[in-house]
Structure 1
Amino acid sequence: MRDPSRMKLTAPRLLTFAVSLVLIGLAVATMYWKVPTVGSFVAGNRTGFFIGAYAVLALGVLSRRL
């Protein structure tokens, strides 16, 4: 088992950051504008998108591969 004190945080890869940014962007956009195609799904699950974007970014910081 890894020692938690030795855990190193790393900057997320650009792709991980971009995915997180897109998820947040969609969630925020549905608050102010009508987004075609996926807008109703995102608006209905906005909290999940916010949590998902944060989780993707957090996993990107904790993992070296993500």
Structure 2
Amino acid sequence: MKTFLYVFLVLLVILWAIGFFVYALSAVIHIVLVIAIILLIVVNRNNSKD
């Protein structure tokens, strides 16, 4: 499950970067970044419990 979250996190960050530089006017791209940051926090908290 952790591997899936890391892959999903990297995918979201890549999509954000592409969207930010190509479609700079879209607010949806920033929502993707926020989701990626939240996932990073969740993954890090789960790792600290192990």
Give TM-score scaled by structure 2 length. 0.49
Q: Which has the higher contact order (CA 8 A, sep 6+)?
A: 1
Greater C-alpha Rg: 1
Higher helix share: 2
